[in-house]
Amino acid sequence: MKKYSGHRRVQRTGRDSYIISLPKNWVREVGLDKGSEVAFKVLDDASLILIPSKLEEKKLEETKLKEYQVIVEPNDDIPSLYRKIKALYVSGAELIRIRLKSKNNILKFKTAINNLVRDTLLGSEIIDETPTEFVIQILIKHPEFPVEKAIRRMAVIALSAHMDALSMLKDMDESLIQNVISAYNDVNRLNLYVVRQLKFGVERNLFRELGFKTPKEFLADRIVVNDVKGVAENARNILNNIVALKKMVENQTLFLKELIDEEIYLQILNFNSLASRLFEEALSATFKWDYKQADNIISKTESLVTLENDIITLISSKKLDPNISAIFRLTFDNCRRIIEYARNIAEVTLNKSVEEISSKKSP
C-alpha cells in the first residue's frame, strides 16, 4: 500500500556518485538519522527497494521464537505454576522453559506439567527434558486451525456436554460423568487456543490472515468464545449439583421416595432443546454477518419468557422435597443462561454488521 508518493531529482556528486533526497516524514517514521544504514534491493524490473536497517533487525527479531523461562521455587505449588504457564501460552509464547530450583518433588511437577501440556495446551509438546528442566514448544499456527473452526468445535462439544449433564437427572451413568468432565476440559483447551490466536492477531493487526473482515472481529470473537465456554461451565455445574445430591442419597444422609419428576424433567429437556437450537443459530448468524437472522434470534429469546415462567411455576406447584426442587431450579437456571448467551452473540452480530446494511449519509 502506498503511503508516500512524489518525485525526487537525482543529483551527481563527483564522477561516480549520485544522491537522492528522502521524504522527511518517512525518515522520521523509520527512525533514520545521520549515519544510519539503508539496505537496498534491485528488482527484476530495475526498480529499487530501500530497507532501513532497523526494519531489517525487527524482521529478524520477529522470526525468532518468543521464548520465556519459568523458575519454580521449592515452595511454589502446582496450581500457581499452571496459571503462569497458561498465561504465557495465551500471551503468545512459543517456547517455555520450566526450571526447577529444587530436586524435591520432581516427579510431582513432571506429572503435573505433562498433564497440563496434554490436556490443556492445544498444539503444545514437551520437546526437551532434564531432571530439573522441561521445554514446552507451541507448534500450531493459526492457518492450520482457524479461529472460526475452533469456536464451532467448542460449541458442538459444550452443547453435547450440557445434554449429557441433563441426562444424569434420570440416569447416573458413570460414562456420562466422564463425558461431561472430558468435554469441559476440551472446551477449556480450545478456549485458551482461541484467546491466544486473537491476541496474536491483535498485536500484529492480522485480521485478514485470521479470516476476519475488520479488526472489530477480534473483540466480537472474544465475547463469543466466552459465551461458548459458559455453556460448558453450566454443564459442569449441573453435574456437580446432581452428583452431590445422589451422594447424599447413597450415604443415607438424605431419604427420597422419588428422585425425578417426569413432567418437570421433560419440560426442562424441551426448553434446553429450544435454547441449544437458538444458540447454534446465533453462532451461524455471527459467522455469516447476518444482521437479519441475529435480529430474529433476539425476538425469539424474548418470546421464550412465557415458557420460562411456566416451568418455574410448574416446579413451585409440585410438592417436591426441597433438595429435589433446588436441583430442578438450578438445572433450569443453567439452561436459561444458554438463551442469554445466544442473545449476547446475536447482539455482537448486530453491532459488527449494522454498518453493512445501513446506507451512509452523504455530508
Cα 100 to Cα 135, 148, 151: the distances in Å are 12, 38, 35
User: Do 341 and 303 form a contact (C-beta atoms < 8 A)?
Assistant: no
Residue 195, helix vs strand vs coil: helix
Q: Are residues 49 and 105 in the same domain?
A: no
Domain with 338, as residue range(s), is: 145-353
End residue of a domain, out of 81, 116, 138:
138
Report the pLDDT value the prediction gives residue 32, as an integer from 0 to 100: 79
Report field, pTM of the whole predicted structure over 0.85: no
Number of Cβ within 10 Å of residue 150's Cβ equals 21
Q: Are residues 348 and 299 in the same domain?
A: yes
Give dist(CA 137, CA 67) in Å, integer: 9
End residue of a domain, out of 89, 112, 138:
138
CATH code of the domain in which 80 resides: 3.30.110.20
Give dist(CA 216, CA 295) in Å, integer: 19
Q: Are residues 190 and 52 in the same domain?
A: no
Report the pLDDT value the prediction gives residue 1, as an integer from 0 to 100: 46
Task: Tell me which residues of the chain have a pLDDT lower than 70.
Answer: 1-5, 14-15, 44, 53-64, 141-143, 255-259, 359-363
Report the pLDDT value the prediction gives residue 123, as an integer from 0 to 100: 87
Domain membership of residue 52 (yes or no) is: yes
The residues, any chain, with a CB within 8 Å of residue 6's CB and separated by 6 or more, are 23
Report the pLDDT value the prediction gives residue 62, as an integer from 0 to 100: 52
CATH code of the domain in which 15 resides: 2.10.260
Q: Are residues 100 and 174 in the same domain?
A: no
Residue 49, helix vs strand vs coil: strand
Domain membership of residue 362 (yes or no) is: no
Report the pLDDT value the prediction gives residue 142, as an integer from 0 to 100: 66
End residue of a domain, out of 109, 138, 167:
138
Nearest to 189 by CA among 104, 106, 119, 281: 119
Domain membership of residue 361 (yes or no) is: no
Q: What are 98's strand-pairing partners?
A: 70, 134
Q: Are residues 164 and 223 in the same domain?
A: yes
Q: Are residues 132 and 149 in the same domain?
A: no
Q: Are residues 316 and 169 in the same domain?
A: yes
Report the pLDDT value the prediction gives residue 356, as an integer from 0 to 100: 80
Q: What are 124's strand-pairing partners?
A: 138
Domain membership of residue 3 (yes or no) is: no
Q: Are residues 97 and 131 in the same domain?
A: yes
Domain membership of residue 338 (yes or no) is: yes
CATH code of the domain in which 341 resides: 1.20.58.220
Q: Are residues 213 and 335 in the same domain?
A: yes
Per-residue cell: 285: 448468524
Report the pLDDT value the prediction gives residue 5, as an integer from 0 to 100: 61
Q: Are residues 79 and 164 in the same domain?
A: no
Q: How many domains does the chain have?
A: 3
Q: Are residues 233 and 92 in the same domain?
A: no
Domain membership of residue 186 (yes or no) is: yes
Report the pLDDT value the prediction gives residue 200, as an integer from 0 to 100: 83
Domain membership of residue 363 (yes or no) is: no
Q: What are 129's strand-pairing partners?
A: 134
Q: Are residues 200 and 169 in the same domain?
A: yes
Domain membership of residue 358 (yes or no) is: no
